[in-house]
Structure 1
Amino acid sequence: MLSNIQAKLLIVDDLPENLLALEALIKREDRTVYKAQSADEALSLLLQHEFAMAILDVQMPGMNGFELAELMRGTEKTKNIPIVFVSAAGRELNYAFKGYESGAVDFLHKPLDIHAVKSKVNVFVELFRQSKAMKQQVEQLEQSRREQEALLNQLQSTQLELQQAVRMRDDFMSIVAHEVRTPLNGLILETQLRKMHLARDNAAAFTLDKMHAMVDRDERQIKSLIRLIEDMLDVSRIRTGKLSIRTSMFDLSTLVRGLLENFAQQIDAAEASVCLEAEQPVIGNWDEFRIEQVISNLLTNALRYGAKSLISVKVFSENGEARVEVRDSGIGISEENQQRIFQQFERVSAKHAVAGLGLGLFISEQIVTAHGGTITVESRIGEGALFRVCLPL
């Protein structure tokens, strides 16, 4: 409400009795009256406060009322304050005309008409309050506009995120369907083939050597399915903050050396070769299963994208960190792709798409981060890639 806006009034007169009389005339509970006995004192108050109006005596020693008004009109903070002049001089001096030239809105002669003074002050106070209220409304509208604009931007951002989430879901379902179908098709074909042999009483199809081969094929397909399921479960654990890290002391060099032995068959199938440099023990307190998972992902990617070339693996410690570097000489990764390969369901490119859900590097980064470490990549197109895992010792 307008009545809640406190108005400040300035009265300037070199005679204290005049100040007291005028203050008594215009003072009310919703107004604060400031008094000044000189132009200098008035200027000091004008710089400190925002006034609804100023009542200036014309004839003062030193700087008179007209000169003070001209100074007020030339100052940004005070140029819009309504000025009313008061003078005891006769009308024949034409002070009123000079007052209006100085920027006054009214001119009063002494002795003052009480009702006229009160009426004029009430008008200017009301105008001040309306101006303040309108300014507050404009500020509130502007604040509301900014909030609505921010909300709109947030909604647009959320919409884009939702659209991206839907695309990711669709891509994920498509990838999962394709990746799960491959081992399942193998198992189904094996089952149908065995049913056919059994229906024909073909015992020769179930010799010991052939049974070993069948079991090996089944095991590979089942392991492939288990790997896909574990990757999806790991993503779920990461999203809910339930990725478990169970640390113990072990030698990273020994882990990598054993892992490469387990990868021997995959290395041969990829027609690649691996060079290991792990001369010194690198012992730390980490989750052995999870770190093996990270290195396995890096080795798998190196075999996939390494273009049947030499893969270099290095394990060492430096600057209080354990480091594992896996370098290949394959297709390389562009700078743009380097920014996104650690995201969910991302792979190098459609042109070089291979098996997998595109979760390996995402999961690996989350595991390494959970250990307080980092995983980075250095690469150029056609020049291979170097992945570096750094873990605090």
Structure 2
Amino acid sequence: MTNVATPGTEPTKLLIVDDLAENLRALNAVIRADDRIVFQASSGEEALTLLLEHDFALAILDVQMPGMDGFELAELMRGTDKTRHIPIVFVSAAGKELNYAFKGYETGAVDFLYKPLDPDAVRSKVNVFVDLHCQRMEIRRRVEEQQATMNELRAAQEEMRYALRMRDEFMSMVAHELRTPLNTLYLETQMRKMQLDRGNTAAFGPEQLAGMVARDGRQIQAMIRLIDDMLDVSRIRSGVLSIRPCDTELQDILHRLTSDLARQAADAGTSFELDAPEPVKGCWDEFRIEQVIINLLTNALRYGGGKPVRVRLRATEKEARIDVIDQGPGIPEALQARIFLPYERGEGNGVPSGLGLGLYISRQLADAHQGTLSVQSKPGEGSMFTLTLPRTEAAPIQ
């Protein structure tokens, strides 16, 4: 039989052990209360089972029981981590001349009561131990709350330190990445000014001008890409990134982009091997899909170790799949999830490049198309980045 605790409070659990049912009923009637649950056991073995299942504020044990007596049960309790802290009160009908009380205190009891029991005395003693237990539980709860608060504070401090470090590193990266094309443009303008000051108009013939315009265009495009990446991150975080699906054909995009990047591949000492045997049509945002593919192709050139990059296009009725496969050093498994985080940069030929935003933006764009962007890689075996796109209209994200 158990008592019902007051709703909304954590009940205090008490254990009474006696081999006589009438003694259990009588003791239960004395100590029960609305904020307590009283568990009853008629043997030491039954009591052990309950002790291992529950956290008791007090155990009241009858000394003389058949089989395992109260003293033996107390010794077992004191030998187990889960139960050694539970206060024990012994109850005995034997006379004081048997000196059971001394043996009881030797086994770790906090009190020894003789039958017939004084209900008021029993109730008073139990109330004391219940109050002590509640105080211990409250202290434990407060300590746990303080520990949780400290853990939250430490985590918040670490996040703040990380954010500040990433901010500083990002600003440094932006300055570095923008400075490179700006320096090139500045040097070009200085060279042209010097030629003009010398009256050397031959330096501005049609062929020379075409080269100047091409070089200027590359540097300007590099700065535009950096700025666009930063704007895309801002759009993603503010929830205003949008896609505009239209009829799009992937085979043509891959032919065009690998051709456009052929010179960059040649500068890296490599080339593209395109495997796109047939047209693949779908309803996607062509500009955004090109953006993802360019990121994958340029990363493969940067980290591919100067070996050919394979680009493969396959499709089923339900989805299209683009694989970009390099033969570089590969990516350790522990880093494969991190490369899709913002500002995470790999090492291309030992030198970090870019703002570390390309793969982060690319995955967000894949998600916006209800597709996926994933990587498979092993150290020393290169990497394969896979873009999958559903061949149904993707709902625009506003």
**Does the alignment reach a TM-score above 0.5?**
yes
Unaligned runs of 5+ in 2: 1-8, 51-55, 75-82, 105-111, 392-398
- Whole-angstrom distance in 2 between the partners of 1:267 and 1:7: 74
| Equivalent in the alignment of 1:158 | 156
How far is the alpha carbon of 1:292 from its aligned partner?
Answer: 1.0
Report what 1:170 is aligned to. Answer: 168
Residue 217 of structure 2 corresponds to 219
Task: Give yes or no for contact 2:271–2:308 (8 Å, CA) kept in 1.
Answer: yes
Question: Cα distance 1:314–1:81, how it changes in 2: closer, same or farther (>3 A)?
Answer: same
1:285 equivalent in alignment to 2:275: no
1:72-101 deviation digits (Å, cap 9, x = unpaired):
77778999456586xxxxxxxxx7447985
* Cα 1:354–1:79 shift into 2, 3 Å: closer
What one-letter code is carried by the residue in structure 1 that aligns with 2:266?
Answer: D
Cα distance in structure 2, aligned partners of 1:328 and 1:27: 76
What residue number does 1:341 align with?
Answer: 339
- Contact 1:7 1:30 survives alignment (8 Å): no
Alignment of 1:105 with 2:113, yes or no, is yes
Say if 1:6 and 1:30, in contact at 8 Å, map to a contact too.
no
The match for 1:188 among 186, 197, 200 is 186
- Take 1:289 and 1:385, find their aligned partners in 2: how far apart are those partners? 25
Alpha-carbon spacing, 1:7–1:30, altered in 2? closer, same or farther (3 Å): farther
Q: Which has the larger radius of gyration?
A: 1
Structure 1: tracts of 5 or more residues without a match: 57-64, 86-94, 109-116
Q: What secondary structure does 2:340 align onto?
A: coil
Q: 1:124/1:100 Cα in 2 relative to 1: closer, same or farther (>3 Å)? A: farther
Give the CA deviation at 1:29: 10
2:306 alignment counterpart: 308
Q: Aligned-residue CA RMSD in angstroms?
A: 4.5
- When structure 1 is superposed on structure 2, of 220-229 and 244-253 the one drifting more is 244-253
Q: Which amino acid aligns with 2:322?
A: V
- What are the equivalent positions in structure 2 for 1:137-152 lying under 5 Å apart? 137-152=135-150
Q: Which residue of 2 aligns with 1:209?
A: 207
- Select the residue among 260, 263, 282 that pairs with 1:262: 260
Distance 1:28 1:323 in 2: 70
**Does the 8 Å CA contact 1:313/1:327 hold for their aligned counterparts?**
yes
The structure-2 alpha-carbon separation of the partners of 1:287 and 1:350, relative to structure 1 and needing over 3 Å to count, comes to closer
- Find the counterpart in structure 1 of residue 247 from structure 2: 249
What aligned pairs does 1:1-393 form with structure 2 within 5 A after superposition?
80=88, 83=91, 96-97=95-96, 101=100, 105-107=113-115, 120-318=118-316, 320-349=318-347, 352-393=350-391
CA contact (8 A) 2:64 2:70 kept: no
Structure 1: distance between partners of 2:120 and 2:389:
76
Q: How many residues align?
A: 347
Q: CA deviation at 1:280?
A: 2.4
1:350–1:128: structure 2 CA closer, same or farther, 3 Å change rule? farther
Of 191-200 and 317-326, more deviation after overlay is shown by 191-200
TM-score normalized by the length of structure 1: 0.71
The CA distance in 2 between the partners of 1:381 and 1:152, in whole Å, is 39
Stretch deviating more after TM superposition (194-203 or 215-224): 194-203
Q: CA deviation at 1:128?
A: 1.7
Change (3 A) 1:79 1:100: farther
SS in 2 for 1:347: coil
Aligned-residue offset at 1:218: 1.6
- In the TM superposition, what whole-angstrom CA distance separates every residue of 1:325-368 from its partner, at most 9, and x where no partner exists? 11223343343443432222223337522531122112112222
Distance 1:221 1:72, change over 3 A: same
Q: Secondary structure at the match of 2:277?
A: coil
Q: Is the 8 A contact 1:344 1:359 kept in 2?
A: yes
How many percent identity over aligned positions?
40
In structure 2, the residue matched to 1:91 is none
In structure 2, relative to structure 1, the CA distance for the partners of 1:52 and 1:138 (3 Å cut) is closer
